[in-house]
Amino acid sequence: MKIARLIFNPIQENTYIVWDSTLEAAIIDAGNMSERENDVLEKFIADNGLKPVVAINTHGHFDHLLGVAHVCERYGVEFALSSKDEFLLKNAVTSAELFGVRSGAMPEKIDIDLDGRESITFGDTTLQIISTPGHTPGHVALYEPQSKVLFTGDTLFRESIGRTDLPGGDYSWIMRSIIDNLLPLGDEVKIYPGHGDDSTIGHESMYNPFVVEVLNDEVNYKN
């Protein structure tokens, strides 16, 4: 499995293009919002001979949705998101405006509901879907066990975690998601977050202050 990271929009969101030997590709969290960014995305896809077959979102915040409608229309693909984040999708344009971002078209509906779904496949690659609520109610992570690659969206960053002060956010749940659902995958697992640089589960277990204070029983995250 191959991975490319493209950084888009004023929020500096990580859009991932993921593909395998079949050249079928998934676009994760398409954040492209301008003609220039659309051209960057399309050029990469064309230069590598890729065939996008699905647009997958880890969650429903506007900065991860800005390019989804364009991707779906340009490549004729379906849009995958948890229905628990549908309320965020419906309010994405307003949310963008509150952050001073002028958005274009947003996806009108969810084609593939990730809520309760165990996996999603493109080419010869199957991504396991791991429920990681906390940043948003329907947040998911995407895990490819053979490559030991984990797309964490805005749940787990390099030495930080996602915000929980936005609508639908919950500190207790995001820490449960990290401690119970992500850390057990193993120290060697490489994480690709929704913002910032990549990392590993092992690094976050040692150096992420939010994780370390929980592992050291310095805070009670279950209340």
- At 104, the pLDDT band (50, 70, 90 cuts) reads confident
> 154 — phi, psi (to 5°)?
-105, 25
Helix pair angle (68-75, 35-47), 10° resolution: 50
Please state the rounded mean pLDDT for residues 30-52.
Answer: 98
| pLDDT score of 11 more than 90 | yes
Which sequence spans correspond to the domains of the chain?
2-215
Strands 2-8 and 13-19, how do they pair?
A: antiparallel
DSSP code of 74?
Answer: H
Contact by Cβ (8 Å): 124, 23: no
Please, which pLDDT band fits residue 196 given cuts at 50, 70 and 90? very high
Mean pLDDT of the chain: 97
Predicted confidence band at 183 (pLDDT cuts at 50, 70, 90)? very high
pLDDT in tens, 55-71: 999 999 999 999 999 99
Listed in sequence order, the residues at least 6 apart from 145 whose beta carbon sits closer than 8 Å to its beta carbon are 128
Q: What pLDDT is stored for residue 157 in this prediction?
A: 98
Span 109-129, pLDDT tens digits = 999 999 999 999 999 999 999
Contact in structure between 162 and 210 (CB atoms under 8 Å): no
Mean pLDDT of 141-161: 98
> 207, 190, 187: which is closest to 199 by C-alpha?
190
- The CATH class of the 2-215 domain is alpha beta
Count the neighbouring beta carbons within 10 Å of the beta carbon of residue 134.
Answer: 25
Question: What Rg, from alpha-carbon coordinates, does the chain have?
Answer: 16
Counting residues of the chain whose pLDDT is more than 70, the rounded percentage is: 100
Whole-angstrom Cα distance, residue 151 to residue 29?
Answer: 10
pLDDT at 209: 98
- For tokens 């958005």, the residue is 103
At residue 18, the pLDDT reads 98
Q: Which helix (H) or strand (E) holds 64?
A: none
DSSP E strand stretches across the chain: 2-8, 13-19, 24-28, 51-56, 78-81, 112-113, 119-122, 125-131, 140-144, 149-153, 156-157, 160-161, 190-193, 199-200
Q: Which residues touch 132 (CB under 8 Å, ≥6 apart)?
A: 139, 140, 141, 152, 153, 155, 174, 177, 178, 181, 182
Distance separating alpha carbons of residues 96 and 88, to the nearest angstrom? 11
